[in-house]
């Protein structure tokens, strides 16, 4: 008899959404056909009220989303690793085994993101489909960024990428991880036939949204792109954002402040994805320029 796949699961939380966290953990504990090692990471919070079969890790301060996920990844075991936000859940008890079977059937897949659906029936944000031409959200295919709230990787691939981009704190760490999966010789895959639940909430509710988005775009280029095309990537996104926020001067000012911060500072950790990866991404439909 074939042993069940083993999955390390990281659920990151600040303890501000106890009901959502409980629902997410219940959806994980209901998974069939897999063996799970689950840890709830309290990012500046000591987890309480957690089921006995779920481990906890209390971080004394909020280290940011990428670093918090990485701390959880350090303590879980398994052939695969799954990251689930504390306001997300997976409605099907076969979600993980179905996702793993997809990855085993196609070993070129190094990271899998499911389709994200608001469980209350609200309109799903277009940004949840991580491609320029959104099309049918149920249509699977290769992508070059991910919505980070529910992501599955083989553990070996996650380790090879170097994990989530800790200096980013918040925003665009899913783009870097997707790029580094491509650089590892695999593909990042949008599985439109698999569903994760998440409430439809705009990220602009965060006061630091505009600044960190701009700063991290520059840092993303500095850390990952060949130097020849890094300025082109930053310039293209600057033009897009100026057009997007031109009628919202406060948002534009915050964005431009983040852009300036990104230009004058360095996140460290540079590891160019290389020209072979740029070519592979271009052939797959999206060069890392926009």
Angle at 224 between CA 221 and CA 227, to 5 degrees: 65
Residue recorded with tokens 């949840």: 128
**CATH assignment of the domain containing 158:** 3.90.550.10
Compute the mean pLDDT over every residue in the chain, rounded to the nearest whole number.
95
Is 194 a domain residue?
Answer: yes
Confidence (pLDDT) at 207: 58
Same domain, 129 and 236: no
pLDDT (0 to 100) of residue 203: 66
Residues 191, 247: one domain?
Answer: no
Q: Are residues 167 and 212 in the same domain?
A: no
Q: Across residues 197-208, what is the average pLDDT? A: 74
- Residue 98's domain comprises 6-201
- What whole-number distance in Å separates Cα of residue 242 and Cα of residue 7? 42
Single out the residue of 271, 272, 210 nearest to residue 238, CA to CA: 210
Q: How many CA atoms lie within 13 A of 112 on its CB side?
A: 30
Q: pLDDT tens for residues 147-170? A: 999 999 999 999 999 999 999 999
Q: Give the phi and the psi of residue 107 in degrees, each rounded to 5.
A: -65, -10
**Range with lowest mean pLDDT among 1-5, 102-106, 190-194:** 1-5
Distance separating alpha carbons of residues 240 and 219, to the nearest angstrom: 17
Dump pLDDT digits (tens) for 218-276: 999 999 999 999 999 999 999 998 898 888 888 889 999 999 999 999 999 999 999 99
**206: confidence class by pLDDT, cuts 50, 70, 90:** low
Inside any domain, residue 284: no
**Number of separate domains in the chain:** 2
- Cα–Cα separations (whole angstroms), residue 166 to 27, 52, 153, 204: 28, 29, 18, 21
What is the predicted pLDDT for the residue at 117?
Answer: 96
pLDDT for 136 equals 92
Indicate if the pLDDT at residue 79 is higher than 80. yes
79 inside domain: yes
H/E stretch holding 142 reads: strand 141-143
Same domain, 23 and 95: yes
Same domain, 218 and 188: no
Q: How many CA atoms lie within 13 A of 237 on its CB side?
A: 23
- Assess contact for 107 and 34: CB atoms under 8 A: no
Identify the band that residue 204 occupies on the pLDDT scale cut at 50, 70 and 90: low
Report the candidate in 53, 58, 55, 47 with the shortest Cα–Cα distance to residue 18.
47
Residue that wins the pLDDT comparison between 247 and 75: 75
Residues 23 and 141 in one domain: yes
What is the C-alpha to C-alpha distance for residues 39 and 55, in angstroms, rounded to an integer?
5
């Amino acid at each position: 008899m074939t042993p069940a796949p083993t999955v390390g699961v990281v659920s990151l939380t600040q303890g501000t959404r106890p009901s959502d966290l409980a629902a997410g953990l219940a959806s994980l504990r209901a998974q069939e056909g897999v063996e799970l090692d689950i840890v709830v990471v309290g990012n500046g919070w000591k987890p309480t009220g957690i089921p006995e079969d779920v481990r906890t890790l209390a971080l004394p301060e909020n280290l940011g989303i990428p670093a918090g996920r990485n701390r959880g990844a350090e303590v879980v075991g398994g052939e695969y690793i799954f990251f689930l936000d504390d306001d997300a859940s997976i409605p099907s008890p076969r979600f993980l085994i179905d996702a793993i079977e997809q990855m085993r059937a196609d070993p070129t897949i190094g990271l899998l993101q499911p389709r994200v659906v608001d469980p209350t029936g609200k309109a799903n944000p277009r940004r949840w489909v991580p491609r320029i031409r959104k099309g049918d959200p149920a249509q699977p295919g290769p992508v070059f960024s991910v919505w980070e709230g529910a992501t599955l990787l083989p553990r070996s691939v996650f380790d090879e990428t170097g994990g989530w981009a800790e200096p980013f704190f918040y925003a665009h760490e899913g783009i870097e991880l997707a790029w580094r999966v491509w650089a590892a010789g695999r593909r990042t895959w949008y599985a439109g036939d698999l569903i994760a639940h998440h409430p439809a909430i705009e990220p602009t509710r965060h006061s630091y949204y505009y600044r960190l988005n701009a700063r991290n775009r520059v840092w993303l280029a500095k850390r990952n792109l060949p130097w020849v095309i890094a300025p082109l990537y930053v310039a293209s996104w600057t033009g897009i954002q100026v057009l997007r926020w031109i009628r919202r001067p406060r948002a534009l000012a915050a964005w431009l402040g983040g852009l300036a911060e990104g230009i004058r500072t360095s996140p460290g950790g540079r590891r160019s994805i290389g020209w072979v990866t740029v070519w592979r991404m271009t052939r797959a439909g999206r060069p890392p320029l926009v």
